[in-house]
């Protein structure tokens, strides 16, 4: 693996950026043996704020932080990047769905996808956070035809972490007992957090919890609507937990931490047709990562009619989003 590693972050002066950058620079994301060059990308009105963020990063005196580049130029920002974290985009406000942002945020990912294909390292990996994340990743991937499709992912790890937190709270067990939590579909209110295959202490979560009504009801809706609940309470969308989930996503994918044997994690990745989902659609699946930049969609997960119905509804929403941005693909 490269040392130092070049990490480009868009929207670096935003809320998520503020919670994320110290965790990259400290080595939590990519390993304590890997130096990092941060290439921070913003739009011109946010460059002053970005300079302030960079001053703070310097003042943290992180031993692994080799250099910081600040720019509003995509070619400079993605030059030689080994990892591109596409965070910069407008967040939704109270009463909005993430999909409402699609026409405003979608075009951002055309230029970014192109620039990544042109100037980033040949081995670059991309994780999209800006909403609607799945479809923005689809736009970036479609704008970068020279790069293998599987390099483009969108983050649903926050949804997985939310589901794990709900299960651990209900079962009264340590978080580390909860495994095999798969998020299927869109990072939206239609997502399906699969409780039927989740395990607690190695046993089916359903058996441990013993309350199917709760799992089908409060559990599902709490996870699906957690983002909106945070906006309602905080007046701003999640940032600390989003940054933390991105650390998890990248650490497991390419930061040296392969998925433990028998477990899986959730990532939105281009479908390869698995489970009958349209090839190329960026859909959240249970995946197994190798910690070195590779992953595979877990095959043979048993899905009940209930689960299939939920997944189909979320995939249908992704297909609709794809139609709304057809001109950008
Ligand atoms: P924010 O408004 O605090 O910051 C966004 C930053 O992006 C701003 O500094 C802005 O100047 C910058 N930006 C806007 N357009 C840009 C462009 N074209 N290039 C580079 N930078 C650009 O927002 P935030 O809270 O940091 O959230 C960022 C995005 O992440 C939002 O779309 C939000 O909905 C999304 N989000 C996704 C998840 C997830 O789980 N996938 C979780 C939380 C937030
Ligand atoms: C989240 O899940 O917290 C983010 O996608 C922000 C949002 O709009 O909900």
- In CATH, what number is assigned to the domain containing residue 225? 3.90.110.10
Same structural domain, 316 and 191: yes
> What confidence score (pLDDT) does residue 246 get?
98
| Among protein residues, the one whose CA lies closest to atom 5 of ligand 2 | 227
Nearest ligand to the CA of 133 is 1
| Cα distance between residue 266 and residue 323, in whole Å | 25
> What confidence score (pLDDT) does residue 98 get?
84
Same structural domain, 194 and 145: no
- In CATH, what number is assigned to the domain containing residue 13? 3.40.50.720
The region, left, alpha or beta by phi > 0 then psi within -120 to 50, assigned to residue 172 is: left
Condensed to tens digits (0 to 9), the pLDDT of residues 221-230 reads 999 999 999 9
> What confidence score (pLDDT) does residue 94 get?
86
Same structural domain, 301 and 216: yes
Same structural domain, 240 and 301: yes
| Cα distance between residue 10 and residue 39, in whole Å | 9
| Token pair in block for residue 68 | 């910081």
pLDDT band at 95; cut points 50, 70, 90: confident
Same structural domain, 68 and 124: yes
CA of 207 to the centre of ligand 2 (A): 30
Q: Which residues line ligand 2 (CB under 6 A)?
A: 91-92, 98, 131, 158, 227-228, 230, 237-238, 242
In degrees rounded to 5, what are phi and psi of residue 69? -110, 135
Same structural domain, 133 and 177: no
Same structural domain, 166 and 305: yes
Burial (Cβ within 10 Å: 0-12, 13-18, ≥19) of residue 252? buried
In DSSP terms, which residues pair with 153 in a beta bridge?
A: 127
Taking the alpha carbons of 275, 279, 282, 288 in that order, is the dihedral positive or negative? positive
Residue 217 burial (CB count, 10 A): 11
Last residue in a domain, options 98, 120, 154: 154
In degrees rounded to 5, what are phi and psi of residue 183? -105, 130
The region, left, alpha or beta by phi > 0 then psi within -120 to 50, assigned to residue 29 is: alpha
CA of 121 to the centre of ligand 2 (A): 30
Nearest ligand to the CA of 227 is 2
Same structural domain, 234 and 140: no
Q: Known catalytic residues? A: 187
Condensed to tens digits (0 to 9), the pLDDT of residues 249-271 reads 999 999 999 999 999 999 999 99
Same structural domain, 248 and 319: yes
Last residue in a domain, options 105, 124, 154: 154
| Cα distance between residue 275 and residue 197, in whole Å | 15
Last residue in a domain, options 94, 121, 154: 154
Residue identified by tokens 């130092």 is 4
Q: Which domain holds residue 279?
A: 157-328
Condensed to tens digits (0 to 9), the pLDDT of residues 102-153 reads 999 999 999 999 999 999 999 999 999 999 999 999 999 999 999 999 999 9
Smallest CA-to-CA distance from 131 within 168, 167, 159, 100 is with: 100
Same structural domain, 317 and 213: yes
In degrees rounded to 5, what are phi and psi of residue 53? -60, -40
Residue 21 burial (CB count, 10 A): 27
Give the global pTM. Answer: 0.97
Return the DSSP state at 217. I
Same structural domain, 114 and 239: no
Same structural domain, 188 and 320: yes
* Total domains present in the chain: 2
């Amino acid at each position: 693996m490269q040392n130092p590693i070049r990490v480009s972050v868009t929207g670096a002066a935003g809320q998520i950026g503020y919670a994320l950058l110290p965790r990259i620079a400290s080595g939590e994301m990519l390993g304590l043996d890997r130096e990092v060059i941060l290439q921070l990308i913003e739009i011109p009105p946010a460059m002053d704020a970005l300079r302030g963020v960079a001053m703070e990063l310097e003042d943290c005196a992180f031993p692994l932080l080799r250099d910081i580049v600040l720019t509003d130029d995509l070619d400079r920002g993605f030059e030689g990047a080994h990892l591109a974290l596409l965070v910069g985009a407008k967040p939704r406000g109270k009463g909005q769905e993430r999909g409402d942002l699609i026409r405003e945020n979608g075009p951002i990912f055309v230029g970014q996808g192109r620039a990544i294909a042109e100037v980033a390292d040949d081995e670059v990996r991309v994780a999209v956070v800006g909403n609607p994340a799945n479809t923005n990743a689809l736009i970036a991937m479609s704008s970068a035809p020279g790069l293998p499709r599987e390099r483009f992912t969108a983050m649903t790890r926050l949804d997985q972490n939310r589901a794990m937190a709900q299960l651990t709270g209900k079962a009264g067990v340590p978080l580390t007992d909860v495994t095999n939590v798969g998020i299927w579909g869109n990072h939206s209110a239609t997502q399906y957090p699969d409780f039927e295959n989740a395990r607690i202490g190695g046993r089916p979560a359903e058996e441990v919890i013993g309350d199917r009504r709760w799992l089908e009801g409060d559990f599902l809706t709490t996870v699906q609507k957690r983002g909106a609940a945070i906006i309602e309470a905080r007046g701003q969308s999640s940032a600390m937990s989003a940054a933390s989930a991105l650390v998890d996503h990248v650490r497991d994918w390419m930061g040296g931490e392969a998925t433990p044997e028998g477990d899986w994690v959730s990532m939105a990745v281009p479908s390869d047709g698995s489970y009958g989902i349209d090839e190329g659609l960026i859909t959240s699946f249970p995946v197994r990562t190798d910690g070195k930049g590779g992953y595979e969609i877990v095959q043979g997960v048993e899905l009940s009619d209930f689960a299939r119905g939920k997944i189909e509804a979320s995939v249908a929403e992704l297909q609709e989003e794809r139609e709304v941005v057809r001109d950008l693909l």
